[in-house]
Chain A
Amino acid sequence: MSGRQPNDSIRLSRRRFLQVLATTGGALMVGIRMAEATDAPLPPALLGDTFYDLGAYVRIDVDGNVLIGARDPDTGTGVATALPRIIADELDADWNRVSVLPLGLGVSDNNGQPQWTYGHQVGGTGSSIPAAWRDLRQVGAVARWLLLQAAARRLGVPANRLRCESGTVITPDGRRVTYGSLATDASQIALPGSLPALKNPASYQLIGQPCGDVDAHDIVTGLARYAIDQHDGDALVAVLVHCPWPDGNLVRVDTTDALAIKGVIKVVQLKPEPGQPWGSTVIAPAVAVLAENTWAALRGRAALKLEWKPGASGNQSSNELEQQALAVLGGQAEPTRRVRDDGNFDAAGKKAARRLGATYIQPWQAHVTAEPMNCLVRLDKDRASLVVPTQAPQKAWAVVQRLTGLAPAQIDIRVPRVGGGYGRRLDHDFVAEAVMLSMAVNKPVQLLWTREQEFTHDYYRPGCVHQLTAIIDRKRQLTGWNQRMVSASALAMRGVADDRLWTSELQAEQLPAGLIPNYRSDWYAQATAMPRGPHRGMPHVTNAFAVESFIDEVAHLMREDPLKTRLRVLGKPRQLPLGDHRMLDIGRLRNVLQLVADRIEWKNWLRTVNGLGIACWHVDGAYVAHAIEAAMQGEKLIIQRVVCAVDVGRVINPLGLEGQVAGATLDALSTALNPAITFRNGQVQQHSYKDYPLASMAQLPNDVEVITVPGERTPSGASFLAMPTAAPALANAVFRASAVRVRRLPLMKELLRLL
């Protein structure tokens, strides 16, 4: 570490500082550090000289190569590409010279409390891009400013007369100096007192331009190492059998045959820790087999003789929960939570010219990530080293810390590219399992779940029932809307206050709230021991299916074009307050709706032989609409065409965005068409892809036409934006094609029942 002046950080916010450092090799590094408001930033001499420990995001080497750290786990969302490009653009880096490094968890020790080096690190929740837009541009801008100052001194030209282009500083008379040759000098320059100006968006070179996945070459050559692909010397492979009932117990275990298998080392029992919330301890009692390799472990697992007994949940079934929900909706019980109550729905009902009601039933769903749960852990006396496929490394850290009692910075969590998240990897039961097993055998452990466990032991998306009622007055105006929803909250058993449990199930501001004068939304809680948790696109996905199907039913009742009904309900382009100072931009929502309608030639809506369906939604300041053309060939559903329009504000990587939108569309269609989790006698009945069929290539549309609205607003996340509207647009198209209104998912089973 070279001797820098103390003034080498700039405050970004109350607790966050930009910091510049030089490495022993002469490279320039710029990063962000967290600090207490009252603290002076840490002097660099106290910091380590490695990329990981610095909170550094960008390193410019003397040879001109640029290394940029990717803060948030990439579960297939493209953030490992998009986030570094935000930095690289502000830096005016040559993208061909940029390598990207997944940063892993950044944590330091602040008097025994964790201090997060990179701020909040989370992937797959749609928050990465908006957060990066707030802070990562500054990292690139500061590095660029330093390089300009260094060039100004060397060339004797004022910095404001120099310009940067693709890793080079250029003088007005055309002289060029590369970033690499300036890196060492730049690292010695004190930062300005305030943040340097960000680029004018008109001069963006990378932001807004398409870019392929940074890991693509490694992935297609099989060299990309996911957590499941990492090895650690003498680590034992652990596989386990979970109790079929989350609250059940092990009655008998005979390990003789298992231990007789060559390579099997030990059999260990695990139990959920009482009082720990879902997602942070073992999901169900389990017996683990630890062996020298996976094959021996799996043979040992198969040779276990186990007898389990059910707990209190042993008689519950998904069917019974559904019946119970329907009974609740059939009665007049007070809701667990009145989520919203605009105007007076009851009074509006008395003036109804027409009234329409419908009930929508949606099943439980599993996550089924491509890469199964796994975790590599090595525990030493004063150190824990883990490789974890996680969406939220800070939550993984908390589990490790609780189980090991280690100090914050003694826990090292690496997060390579992750094979799918969908919310499953916001939970860390599997990390608890791996740590417990490693402690039990006093060796490094590589835990691997079998595919079957991904179906039978998950924090599922709970099933739900929606009852919707619409009031239409004599002037054909939609004057009243009542949504009553029953579900078992995905936030239960997680230390969340009872009066917040509804927030995982529906939103107070979801469509058509704010657009109908008498709008009421009620939620009724159900209780079950079946584990639940976050799931991709929730609670938008289930609510959009019910709401956007029902608005079509309203249009049908009024004998109106469902596009026109929607536009009529939305009204004129305007800003509609959503609460929390956020606004719903009706103009942007109308626009995406109109775009998909135009593209699919909605004007043929009544005439076409195939069915056309449409739906729109808004998610955290972003807007989405789908239009789908479907046809029935006997009992076969053909999805002919799918159009999706999104408005996310400024687009960082259009190729990445197109992939996310097409991907989420296919995921939503696949989820709606066939699979469902059911349980009987407390046991999940699906054990493989055969029982829980994701859509095959043949069942999915050949193409998804993605329309991206250009924009300059602060970018929104898009990892699940296209999930909510795909299924209702399909159900609406199916209605036009078959005259069958599907009010229960999975769609195909219900459609064939009703046809």
Chain B
Amino acid sequence: MAYVQAQIPSSKHAGNGVPGKTADGIDLLINGEHYLHTGDPQMPLLWYLRDILRLTGTKYGGEHGENGADLVLIDGKAASAINQAVSALAGKPVITVEGLAANDGTLHPLQQAFIDEDAIGCGYCTPGWLIAGVDLLRRKPRPDDDDIDQLPNLCRCGCQTRVRRAIKRAAAGKAGQP
């Protein structure tokens, strides 16, 4: 798909730094980088991330994002990427799983806690769990079991008990510790 290569380099850093819809397309702010989307404004964010930017950490879970595999942070809040048309995202910062770690590669405490607890089944839905968990920790830095119970994600591998441990570990500031 030749247009992909053509689009990304020219569209990064959209110019005037003013977010929003420009004459040329939609200015998207994803993991701290500006991208100018010139295609169909109704394209859901999920397919923009996966097909155009090749940021494939955000997974396809279902037509309506029912299993949480496609969660991203929009304005810091967890939201299903398949339910968001890019046209509605101009100027709203989007963080995907690829953007959770610091620029120097230091993992987000919850990412580290997932590794510590080996909270991974097949791993396909793990990015969605991470986004939901980061969102929860933002709202409630010391979540209890009832809070964790509210996570919307589904997982057939049965990694839920380890995810619970990982969230508690991260909340307790013990990520990366033995």
Contact = CB atoms under 8 A, between A and B. Distances in A.
Interface of A: 74-76, 212-213, 215-217, 219-226, 228-229, 231, 233-235, 237, 262, 292-296, 298, 368-372, 417-420, 422, 448, 450-452, 655-656, 659, 662-667, 670, 688-690, 694, 696-698, 700-704
A131 to B, nearest CB: 21
Nearest to A449: B60
8 contacts: A74-B122, A213-B123, A219-B120, A222-B57, A222-B96, A222-B98, A226-B124, A448-B60
A262 B39 CA distance: 10
B97 A663 contact: no
Interface string B158-178: 111111100000000000000
Given A233-B1, A701-B161, A76 B57 contact: no
Contact of B69 (A217, A220, A370): A370
Interface string B43-70: 1100110111011111111111011010
A223 B118 contact: no
Nearest to B115: A216
Nearest to B128: A370
A690 B123 CA distance: 22
A662 B120 CA distance: 12
A30 B156 CA distance: 37
A483 B116 CA distance: 46
A310 B58 CA distance: 38
Contacts of A220: 97, 107, 111-112, 114-115, 120, 126-127, 130
B50 A451 contact: no
Contacts of A219: 120, 123, 126-127
A702 B126 contact: no
A419 B158 contact: no
Interface stretch (B8-16, B17-25, B73-81, B144-152): B144-152
Given A219-B123, A372-B60, A688-B62, A664 B47 contact: no
A216 B117 CA distance: 10
Given A228-B56, A697-B151, A700-B158, 20 more contacts: A76-B120, A76-B122, A213-B118, A219-B120, A220-B127, A221-B100, A224-B123, A234-B1, A235-B1, A294-B50, A295-B48, A369-B156, A371-B59, A417-B123, A451-B60, A659-B162, A688-B63, A697-B148, A700-B161, A702-B161
Interface residues of B, number: 64
A666 B63 contact: no
B60 A663 contact: no
Contacts of A75: 122
A216 B151 contact: no
A371 B122 contact: yes
A233 B57 CA distance: 19
Contact of A212 (B115, B130, B158): B115
Nearest to B64: A688
Contacts of A694: 67, 154-156
A235 B4 CA distance: 12
B125 interface: yes
A294 B47 contact: yes
Contacts of B96: 222
Contacts of B1: 233-235, 292-293
Contacts of A701: 161
Interface of B: 1-3, 40, 43-44, 47-48, 50-52, 54-64, 66-67, 69, 96-98, 100-101, 107, 111-112, 114-116, 118, 120-127, 130, 145, 148-164
B62 A663 contact: no
A370 B2 CA distance: 30
User: 6 closest A-B pairs (Cβ-Cβ)?
Assistant: A222-B57, A76-B122, A666-B158, A419-B124, A663-B158, A451-B62
A690 B157 contact: no
B115 A217 contact: yes
Contact of B122 (A262, A294, A417, A448): A417
Given A213-B123, A216-B115, A370 B157 contact: yes
A226 B164 CA distance: 25
Given A216-B114, A295-B44, A222 B122 contact: no
A420 B155 CA distance: 10
B66 A221 contact: no
B51 A370 contact: no
Contact of B51 (A294, A698, A700, A702): A294
B176 to A, nearest CB: 13
Q: Which of B1, B44, B50 has the most CB of A within 10 A?
A: B1
Contacts of A262: 40
A256 B128 CA distance: 37
B160 A700 contact: yes
A365 B152 CA distance: 22
A670 B157 CA distance: 10
B136 to A, nearest CB: 11
B57 A223 contact: yes
A309 to B, nearest CB: 25
A368 B67 CA distance: 11
Q: Which of A215, A225, A231, A451 has the most CB of B within 10 A?
A: A451
B51 A221 contact: no
B64 to A, nearest CB: 7
A417 B121 CA distance: 11
A225 B59 CA distance: 11
Contacts of A225: 56
A221 B157 contact: no
Nearest to A419: B124
B164 A697 contact: yes
Q: Which of B48, B98, B112, B160 has the most CB of A within 10 A?
A: B160
A75 B162 CA distance: 18
B47 A451 contact: no
A694 B43 CA distance: 29
A73 to B, nearest CB: 11
Contacts of A670: 156, 158
Contacts of A704: 161
A235 B2 CA distance: 11
Contact of A689 (B52, B67, B127, B150): B67
A212 B150 CA distance: 27
Contacts of A76: 120-123, 157
A551 B126 CA distance: 39
Given A221-B111, A293-B47, A451 B118 contact: no
A214 to B, nearest CB: 10
Nearest to B113: A220
Given A216-B115, A221-B97, A662 B56 contact: no
A64 B50 CA distance: 37
A665 B161 CA distance: 11
B128 to A, nearest CB: 9
Q: Which of B98, B111, B152 has the most CB of A within 10 A?
A: B111
Nearest to B114: A220
A292 B67 CA distance: 26
Nearest to A656: B118
Contact of B120 (A216, A223, A296): A216
Contact of A703 (B44, B158, B161): B161
Nearest to B108: A220
Contact of A215 (B51, B69, B123, B130): B123
Contacts of A417: 122-123
A78 to B, nearest CB: 9
Contacts of A222: 55-58, 96-98, 100, 127
Given A220-B111, A223-B98, A688-B66, A420 B58 contact: no
Contacts of B57: 221-223
Nearest to A76: B122
A419 B67 CA distance: 14
Contacts of B64: 688
A231 B54 CA distance: 9
B9 to A, nearest CB: 17
B158 A667 contact: yes
A662 B156 contact: no
Contacts of B150: 697-698
Contacts of B130: 220
A370 B120 contact: no
